[in-house]
Amino acid sequence: MSINRRAILKAGGAAVLAPFANTHAAPSDTINIGVIGCNGMGFSDLASMVKVPGTRAVALCDVDVNVLERRAADVVSAGGNAPRLYGDYRALLDDRDIDAVIIGTPDHWHCLQMVHAAEAGKDVYVEKPLANSIDECTRMIVAAERYATVVQVGQWQRSGAHWCDAMDYVHSGSLGEIRAVRAWAYMDWLKNIPRKPDTSVPEGVDYDMWLGPAPERPFNPNRFHFTFRWFWDYAGGLMTDWGVHLIDIVVWGMKADFPRRVMSSGGNFAYPESAMETPDTQQAIYEFDGFSMIWEHAVGIGLGPFQRSHGIAFIGNNGTLVVDRAGWELFPESEPGRDGARHYKLQAVPRRTARPEARGLDQHTENFIECMRTRATPRCDLQTASLAAVCPPR
């Protein structure tokens, strides 16, 4: 089904002001879940969520019929019942049988779909980044408050056991005064993206719906499915992809909100002929109250600071804590003692390795379902997620 994109933009602009009765009743024993955008992380989130007792997948929505049919078959092959299929997310939201909605669409759709889901009385798990602008983040927060919607944002590291342990250590004060934090993502899996000519829209794809609130463009395979995130019309490149996960840890560890000033520099230096619009190499310096943060990313290479492809380093007067998805460890500072020898300022802590079964996503979706039942605030609510979404410069 095609839609009038300008009409839906107009409707979305007034969405948070539209009157709507609160339909959140006490949840039944079974929570029915629908997914909007089920090609990538949306389906991963669903597969994680249905591990929680008392949940089931009942509906899938995607603008690509090919994806929709493949994912429906995946649900059945994994032992689930055949889900109801939708090409228009508004029809899925009209399904009164659905209690929770996972939004796994490209970034430019997150705001409208989350607001519309709140209006429809659904609780929402929305992928990161929360949105593409400060205004969108604000509208989402207002909508959630107006309709008493439980919203969990997919910054799942906040639920990972070793991430929580690392933040506890940072908050303990053992590192001393933390003067700077570094965060980085060096992604060697992402290489040059060759330019491709525009083509006709593939059969089974509702491209007008895919564009939604984005500018009208001819169809190009580079702008579709996963590689959409390297184009400014839809997303912000690696910084709003991996960067949101990692910058989220910075603001969590430092109990910070928004920077006072930001400067950034970068460009397509590794692959100047690439189709990618967003920088393949970028650095940014953030000035917060009491500390600075340095962000950097690079595509095509994987050897970042501390010989890690990604991570966050909290640099204190007594030592540095480095954490990534594999675990965390300390690098103590030393000082000369009265005996003339150098002594570490911190007691040694063995490297903490992440347990595969507790790295975050399953714990994050479980927390969402628990909060649906108790109406408590999830670990990564909209206010929390907006800090990481607003920080990256675009």
- The DSSP symbol for 313 reads E
Residue ranges of E strands in 194-289: 261-267, 281-288
**Amino acid 349: pLDDT:** 85
Neighbours of 203 (CB within 10 A): 8
Smallest CA-to-CA distance from 281 within 272, 290, 293 is with: 272
- The arithmetic mean of pLDDT across residues 134-153, rounded, is 96
What is the rounded distance in angstroms from the CA atom of residue 339 to the CA atom of residue 342?
8
The residue whose two tokens read 């969108």 is 136
Q: In the structure, what pLDDT confidence band is assigned to residue 28 with cuts at 50, 70 and 90?
A: low
Q: In the structure, what pLDDT confidence band is assigned to residue 356 with cuts at 50, 70 and 90?
A: confident
What is the rounded distance in angstroms from the CA atom of residue 313 to the CA atom of residue 334?
18
Neighbours of 206 (CB within 10 A): 17
**Amino acid 355: pLDDT:** 87
**How many percent of the chain have pLDDT more than 70?**
92
Q: In the structure, what pLDDT confidence band is assigned to residue 392 with cuts at 50, 70 and 90?
A: low
Q: In the structure, what pLDDT confidence band is assigned to residue 393 with cuts at 50, 70 and 90?
A: low
**Amino acid 347: pLDDT:** 87
- The DSSP symbol for 205 reads B
Class of domain 5-157+362-382: alpha beta
Burial of 137 (0-12, 13-18, 19+ CB in 10 A): buried
Contact partners, residue 377, CB within 8 Å, separation at least 6: 371
Whether residue 147 contacts residue 20, with contact meaning beta carbons closer than 8 Å, is answered with yes
Higher pLDDT, 204 or 390: 204
Contact partners, residue 156, CB within 8 Å, separation at least 6: 360, 361, 363, 364, 365, 380
Instruction: State yes or no: pLDDT of 142 exceeds 50.
Output: yes
Instruction: State yes or no: pLDDT of 234 exceeds 80.
Output: yes
**Amino acid 129: pLDDT:** 95
Smallest CA-to-CA distance from 147 within 93, 195, 215, 83 is with: 93
Whether residue 134 contacts residue 161, with contact meaning beta carbons closer than 8 Å, is answered with no
What is the rounded distance in angstroms from the CA atom of residue 382 to the CA atom of residue 138?
9
- The DSSP symbol for 232 reads T
In terms of phi and psi (left: phi > 0; alpha: psi -120 to 50; beta: otherwise), the region of 148 is left
For residue 122, give both structure tokens. 């659904």
Instruction: State yes or no: pLDDT of 164 exceeds 80.
Output: yes
Smallest CA-to-CA distance from 154 within 46, 74, 254 is with: 46
pLDDT one-digit tens code per residue, 264-309: 999 999 999 999 999 999 999 999 999 999 999 999 999 999 999 9
**Amino acid 15: pLDDT:** 36
Examine domains 5-157+362-382 and 161-194+220-355 and report if their fold is the same. Answer: no
Domain ranges of the chain: 5-157+362-382, 161-194+220-355
DSSP element (H, E) containing 203: none
- The arithmetic mean of pLDDT across residues 121-135, rounded, is 96
Burial of 43 (0-12, 13-18, 19+ CB in 10 A): buried
Q: What is the DSSP string of 5-24?
A: HHHHHHHHHTGGGS------
CA angle 321, 327, 328 (to 5 degrees): 15
Instruction: State yes or no: pLDDT of 202 exceeds 80.
Output: yes
pLDDT one-digit tens code per residue, 6-27: 443 344 433 333 321 333 444 5
Instruction: Write down the CATH superfamily of domain 161-194+220-355.
Output: Dihydrodipicolinate Reductase; domain 2 (3.30.360.10)
Q: In the structure, what pLDDT confidence band is assigned to residue 249 with cuts at 50, 70 and 90?
A: very high
Q: In the structure, what pLDDT confidence band is assigned to residue 246 with cuts at 50, 70 and 90?
A: very high
Lowest mean pLDDT among 145-149, 350-354, 372-376: 350-354
Strand partners for 55: 31
Strongest mean pLDDT among 26-35, 133-142, 351-360:
133-142
What backbone torsions phi and psi does residue 329 show, to the nearest 5 degrees?
-155, 165
Whether residue 45 contacts residue 35, with contact meaning beta carbons closer than 8 Å, is answered with yes
Q: Please confirm whether the linkage preceding 272 is cis (ω < 30° from 0).
A: no
Strand, coil or helix: what is 145? helix
What is the rounded distance in angstroms from the CA atom of residue 294 to the CA atom of residue 283?
7
Whether residue 336 contacts residue 329, with contact meaning beta carbons closer than 8 Å, is answered with no
Q: In the structure, what pLDDT confidence band is assigned to residue 359 with cuts at 50, 70 and 90?
A: confident
pLDDT one-digit tens code per residue, 47-90: 999 999 999 999 999 999 999 999 999 999 999 999 999 999 99
Strand partners for 114: none
Half-sphere exposure for 84 (CA within 13 Å, toward CB): 17
**Amino acid 263: pLDDT:** 95
What is the rounded distance in angstroms from the CA atom of residue 392 to the CA atom of residue 133?
10
